[in-house]
Amino acid sequence: MVEGGFEVAVRLPMSLGESPVWSAQSQTLYWVDINRGHIYAWQPASGEPPDRFDLEEQVGCVALCEDGLLAALASGIERLTFPLGSRRVRLADNPEWRAGGGNRFNDGRCDPSGRFWVGTLAADEATPSAALYCLTDGELTQRRSAITIANGLAFSPDRQWLYHADSPTRRIMRYPFDVSTGTMGDAEVWVDLDRHDLPGVPDGAAVDSDGNYWCALYGGSQIVKFAADGRWLESHALPCPDPTMVAFGGADLRTLYVTTATQHLDDTGLERYPLAGSLFSMPVTTPGLPEPVVA
């Protein structure tokens, strides 16, 4: 385990920081606090603190659009126009949401063809009642079911593979992926944390330009780097137990940003990990891939 690589980029007391996404166009990092329904926007080069936009409901993730962001709120997917909130258009309802309850949207990302993929999270975080969806041409279709906590969505740089993790299984799956049609082939177990004796569960991830998969281990206090063939390469420690997702950003895409959570810490935990809930960063040598924009 490599210690000391990560520093606090923005000190925050987020409940469930998630979904960091870098816009190369505006040199802005976006991310959310799912539980509080907040979207953050931050230009590291500005020297200013982040802006925060408050929605009235939980927001699982965001993706980049031409003139704004796509946001997967608990109840459905909306397109938010810049300046954030100036215009909101509902694109699709969450089929697993019922007035005030049900399975909210969780991890999501845009594929290299501009389709938006997003999974849900079982309300009890225990029953496999959640699913994985794809939004194309305004239509939301279910692609996989029997999931408990959908996480870890990413695409290999050669566009041949879709990665996905159902967190409680502690496994990361990969599916042969046809980028022209958006079709997924049969699942194969790509990484099993049990076999590597790694702690926590696989949460959010990002792939670098060499095809390495960088994954946050929620409950495992670390970011792990796996090679394209599934080999463990490196672990980087964080000063808090629950990192949630990573993104490459910065002018050269050589800064790795990580969001973290405090939602599972009690008073003792909060005292012990005073930086939990912050945004962290670490320089890396291999750059990330530019994040695609939703078509």
Per the DSSP assignment, residues forming a β-bridge with 160 are none
Q: Which two tokens stand for residue 289?
A: 């891939």
Backbone angles phi, psi at 22, to 5 degrees: -100, 130
- Site residues (CB under 5 A) for Ca ion? 107, 151, 203-204
How many residues bind ligand BGC (CB under 6 A)? The answer is: 12
Sheet holding 201-207, edge to edge: 201-207, 213-218, 222-226, 232-237
d(CA 95, CA 104): 10
Burial label, 207 (beta-carbon count in 10 A; 0-12, 13-18, 19+):
buried
The nearest distance, CB 119 to ligand BGC, in angstroms, is: 9
The nearest distance, CB 143 to ligand BGC, in angstroms, is: 18
Q: Which of residues 98-157 bind ligand BGC (CB under 6 A)?
A: 106-107, 121, 149, 151
The nearest distance, CB 103 to ligand BGC, in angstroms, is: 11
Cβ atoms of residues 209 and 158 within 8 Å: no
Q: Which of residues 2-41 bind ligand BGC (CB under 6 A)?
A: 16, 34
DSSP string, 179-236: TTTTEE---EEEEEHHHHT--SEEEEEEEBTT--EEEEEETTTEEEEE-TTS-EEEEE
Q: Which of residues 170-229 bind ligand BGC (CB under 6 A)?
A: 201, 203, 218
Q: Residue 12 gets which letter from DSSP?
A: -
What's the residue count for the chain? 295
Shorter beta-carbon distance to Ca ion: residue 19 or 235: 19
Residue 34 touches which member of ligand BGC, Ca ion, none, C-beta under 5-8 Å by kind? ligand BGC
Shorter beta-carbon distance to ligand BGC: residue 150 or 253: 150
Q: Which of residues 228-247 bind ligand BGC (CB under 6 A)?
A: 244
Shorter beta-carbon distance to Ca ion: residue 41 or 154: 154
Residue 201 touches which member of ligand BGC, Ca ion, none, C-beta under 5-8 Å by kind? ligand BGC
Longest alpha-carbon distance in the chain: 50
Shorter beta-carbon distance to Ca ion: residue 111 or 203: 203
Active site residue 266: no
Shorter beta-carbon distance to Ca ion: residue 97 or 218: 218
d(CA 14, CA 37): 11
Cα–Cα distances (Å) from 238 to 40, 114, 186, 230, in that order, read: 21, 32, 34, 22
The nearest distance, CB 19 to Ca ion, in angstroms, is: 7
Shorter beta-carbon distance to ligand BGC: residue 201 or 276: 201
The nearest distance, CB 82 to ligand BGC, in angstroms, is: 26
Residue 218 touches which member of ligand BGC, Ca ion, none, C-beta under 5-8 Å by kind? ligand BGC
Selected catalytic residue, list 203, 242, 252, 266: 203
Active site residues: 203
Judged by the rule CB under 6 A, the positions of this chain that interact with ligand BGC are 16, 34, 106-107, 121, 149, 151, 167, 201, 203, 218, 244
